[in-house]
Amino acid sequence: MPRQRKLNPFGRTLAYVYTEKGEHLQELLLANGFAKSKVFQNDMFWHCLADIETVTRRNYFGLWRHQDYKVRSIETLSREDSHRWLEVRGVVRGYERKGQLFELIIDEKLVLVVAK
């Protein structure tokens, strides 16, 4: 089994939180649609937590029933969507490095710019 990290890449503490009844808090939040999973692959629960979020999304629990949290296709995007949090579905078709920027080309229609 790989060694567990105690900090994430940003120096924040990685920890598990349990309720007084011994329930895994992250699992409860995900199962009720109150959170989006952010797990690191060295986390021993990462497959389980990702699966819980997938089921919750499919059943439109919690935040996943709201239009703003639905996964969007590239074709539905407009200029009004720029600078907003969105989850889009597409295929990375290419990339370019431009100085301190990294551009992902998604479905030949969307360029996602990421600063170094």
Q: What is the pLDDT, as a whole number, of residue 43?
A: 65
The whole-angstrom distance between residue 9's C-alpha and the CA centroid of its chain comes to 16
What is the pLDDT confidence band of residue 27, given thresholds at 50, 70 and 90? very high
* Residues 26, 16 contacting (CB under 8 angstroms): yes
State pLDDT tens for residues 39-81: 666 667 778 888 999 999 999 999 999 988 888 888 888 888 8
Look up residue 8 and give its two tokens: 């994430």
- Cβ neighbors of 107 (< 8 A, separation 6 or more) are 74, 90, 91, 93
- pTM (two decimals): 0.65
